[in-house]
Structure 1
Amino acid sequence: MELKTATLANIEEILALHYRYQVDSISEDDKADGFITTAFTKEHLTNLIQHENGLFTASVDNKIVAYAMAASWDYWSQWPMFEFMIKHLDDSTCLGQSITKDNSYQYGPVCVDKSVRGQGVFEKIFNYSLSEMSKRYPIMVTFINKINPRSYEAHTRKTPLTVIKHFEFNNNHYYKLACKTAE
C-alpha cells in the first residue's frame, strides 16, 4: 500500500470514490457500513490540494482505495456545518488544552473502499494524515453523525480520538471528537 499527499492528477479518482460513499449517492445496501455527508466538487478538492495540502490517499496497485481530508478552519468555513463548529470550538477542551481556530484543524471525511475494509487501511490513512497535519497543528477536531455507527466505532476504537462534546445542528445529532496530534 502506498500512502501519499494527493496531487491534482488524483482528483477525478478521489471524486469517483467519494461519490460511491456520499450520503446523496450511496447505495442503500452500503449505507449501513458508513457514509460521508459533505458533497465535494473538483474545485473544492483543487483548493484543498493547492492551498491546504490536506488531502491524503492510500493506493493499492496504483488504484486509490482510501482518502482522508484535513484542513484549516478557514477552508472549511464555506460550509454552514463547519461555520457552526468554528463558533463553538471553545466549548470544549482536548486533554485540558483549549481548542481554538489557530491551534486546531478539522479532520475528515475519510473514506475507505469496501474492497479493502478490515485490512488496516483506515488506521494507516488516519495515522498518515495525523502525522502530516501534526507539522502544523497540535489538535485535531472532527465530528461524526450519530446515525453513522460504523464511523463512530472505527474512530473511537482504532484512533486516539475521544468524544469531547455532543451537539445538534440542522436537526442532526453529532459527536465532537478531538485528539492531540503528537505526544
Structure 2
Amino acid sequence: MASLQDQLLQAGLVDKKKAKQISKEKRKKQKVAKKSKEAQIDETKVVVQQARTDKMARDRALNAQRDAAARQKAIAAQIKQLVDNNRQTQGNGETAYNFTFDKKVKTIYVTEALRDHLIAGRLVIVAMDERFDLVPRGIADKIAERNSDIVVKPAETTTPDNEDDPYADFKIPDDLMW
C-alpha cells in the first residue's frame, strides 16, 4: 500500500518539490527530538484531543437536556393519569364557585354538594389542558409534588390586623352568596 504522500503525488494534488520539503522538515523534527531527548509535542494530536473533549462535553450537555425533557414529559403523563383517574364529575351545576388562578378570578359551576366539599377542602381544583377538574385532596397533594403551578391553592382565611375593628366578632362565611 502506498503512503499518503505517494497517493497525493499520483493524484497530482502535490508536486514532488513540496513533498520532498515536507519529508525533509519531518526528518529534521525527528532528529531534533532524538538529540534533545524530550518528548516532542505533536500539535495535531493536541488539537484532536481538544476537539474530542469538546465533543464529549457537548454530548453530555445534549444528553442532560434530553433527559430533562423526558422527565418533564413523564411527569406530565403522570399528572394527566392522576387527574383522569380521580376526576369528580361536576354535573350540571348551577352554583358558581369563584377562585383565583394565575392572578385571575375564575368561575366554575358545580352542584351544592361539590361546592361544600370544595369549601371544606376535601376537593381541590386542578387546571389541566385549559379546563378545571375537581380531584380529592390526597390526589391534589400528589399532583402538587410534581407540579404545584396547576393546583389551585385553597382560599386562605385572613384575620384583620386591626384589633379595634368593631366587626371583628362577625366572621364572613366562605359560602356567602351575593
More strand by share: 1
The TM-score with structure 2 as length reference comes to 0.21
More helix by share: 2
The TM-score with structure 1 as length reference comes to 0.21
**Higher-Rg member (1/2):** 2
